[in-house]
Amino acid sequence: MWIASEAGYTGPFTLGQIERIVLNNFEGLGLIQPLMRALTAANYEVATPIQLQAIPLLLSGYDLMGCAQTGTGKTAAFALPTLQRLASMATQCQEAGKEDARPSAGPDRRGPRPIRCLVLAPTRELAAQIEKSFTTYGKYLNLRVAVVHGGVSQMPQTRALQRGVDILVATPGRLLDLMNQRIADISNVEVLVIDEADQMFDMGFLRDLKRIVSKVPLDRQTLMFSATMPDEIRQLAKQWLFEPKYVEVAKVSSAATAVEQSVFHVSAQSKPKLLVSYLKSSAVTRSLVFTRTKHGADQLVKILLSSGIDAVAIHGNKSQNARTRNLDAFKSERPPILVATDIAARGIDVHGVSHVINYQMPEVPEIYVHRIGRTARAGATGTAVSFCAPDERGSLQDIERLLNSTIEVNESLSELTLSASQQSQIGSNSGGRSQSSGRSGNSRGTSRPRSTSRAGQSGGRGPRQRKSSSGNMVLN
């Protein structure tokens, strides 16, 4: 269940009022009936912290900088007030007896509906997810939503734009294409949302973004969301947002919910065997495996299939159809293992992911938090295991520094993993980088008896996960 957090709260309510809002569900946030009905239909009972904080500010017309990651409910936090704003213009038109009272038309506009809200997202999957959310929340409003992204034919997107849309969700590249062809006109945009700004920056979209933002009228409401707040994002916020309010719901070094984490120390050559054994011996129901490269993802799928484990891959070289097909299979009742690269996995919102496996350690520590955030969504618990080869110890060390805690060494399947003596050898050979192995491997590993359990001896419950002395590894 979602609870309101005091930390970082910048909204206009007192804590007593927040409590009342939490108890009273979404009541009290000032949302109109058609939105409340849609929330009831979607079984949303309690507003998440970012929704509590952002919705009143956005309804009051403020620009907003939100520091929040996927899984916090940020999409509804910006979609609900935006839908309300666009819908209320229609009501005003009707009340004023204007000739054209279409929701999107605005007071004096004629012709096809102009785009009044533009949402920019870094990946196709995230864009599609956002469009779905707008459609769900706006189902009792007469507003049109469309999504444009690369990797698919432009024709249906062109037709939708020519018919007229109120809310356009887009990835930057395809939107620029459509703008250059004069198919997408963003000169009437009133609300601009830039989602996952840090990811846009990392993916090299800054130039495209700048070109797009320069074509949006200055007289607009601007919302920017980012999981992390590096200097570049702060600078962009300064340029593009007018006296913004700032809301933050979870620091990047924390996950929205509880994830049990552990790390296997393993040689690079043993990783395929370890993965197969782990998957076969664990109570894995829906598992996401991360590799660093597209080629690595394809290779791993081959290995898993040849070991009798159903697996599919999702990455940027796959056609959009293949990506959608594989994602649908992953969401199904009998999901294959999904092997993904970080970029393709952004914005994947699948309930019931039981395990996230870092087959290769991420080079950037924040990515680790994004990866493990794919499991344990909406209050559930999840398991994240990492396969750390000797040359990846530095990455592990960086992650532990970011988390400000040590990730427990997983000593199940010990026949496949590096022994304590091998670890300490690596530690003493690898200079400064060895500290991590010392902290997360040796010291803990040798201070306790190592597990002698074998995959087959684990009683069908999967490998034993070592817990910290304080219990499960829980990020908060």
Which pair of tokens denotes residue 57? 């500010």
- Does the protein bind ligand AMP through residue 72 (CB under 6 A)? yes
Taking the C-alpha atoms of residue 47 and residue 59, their distance in angstroms, rounded to an integer, is 15
Nearest C-alpha neighbor of 177 from the set 145, 152, 198: 152
Name the residue nearer to ligand AMP (CB basis): 2 or 62: 2
Tell me the window of 69-77, 93-101, 259-267, 337-345 that interacts with ligand AMP (CB under 6 A).
Answer: 69-77
CB neighbours of 116 closer than 8 A, spacing ≥ 6?
86, 89, 104, 106, 166, 167, 188, 189, 190, 191
Binding ligand AMP by CB under 6 A: which of 76, 178, 186, 284? Answer: 76
- Does the protein bind ligand AMP through residue 341 (CB under 6 A)? no
User: What track of x and - describes contact with ligand AMP for positions 7 through 46 (by CB under 6 A)?
Assistant: -------------------------------------x-x
**Of residues 43-62, those binding ligand AMP (CB under 6 A):** 44, 46-48, 51
Binding ligand AMP by CB under 6 A: which of 349, 415, 419, 474? Answer: 349
Name the residue nearer to ligand AMP (CB basis): 76 or 385: 76
Tell me the window of 64-72, 88-96, 138-146, 273-281 that interacts with ligand AMP (CB under 6 A).
Answer: 64-72
On whether the CB atoms of residues 87 and 143 are closer than 8 A, the answer is yes
DSSP 8-state assignment for residue 441: I
- Does the protein bind ligand AMP through residue 64 (CB under 6 A)? no
User: What track of x and - describes contact with ligand AMP for positions 424 through 453 (by CB under 6 A)?
Assistant: ------------------------------
Tell me the window of 71-79, 97-105, 403-411, 426-434 that interacts with ligand AMP (CB under 6 A).
Answer: 71-79
Size, binding site for ligand AMP by CB under 6 A:
15
Taking the C-alpha atoms of residue 469 and residue 451, their distance in angstroms, rounded to an integer, is 16
**Which helix (H) or strand (E) is 385 found in, with range?**
strand 382-388
Name the residue nearer to ligand AMP (CB basis): 68 or 337: 68
CB neighbours of 410 closer than 8 A, spacing ≥ 6?
262, 263, 264, 385, 417, 463, 465, 466
End-to-end CA distance of the chain: 15
- How are beta strands 191-194 and 337-340 bridged, if at all? unpaired
Which stretches of the chain bind ligand AMP, using CB under 6 A? Answer: 2, 44, 46-48, 51, 70-76, 349, 378
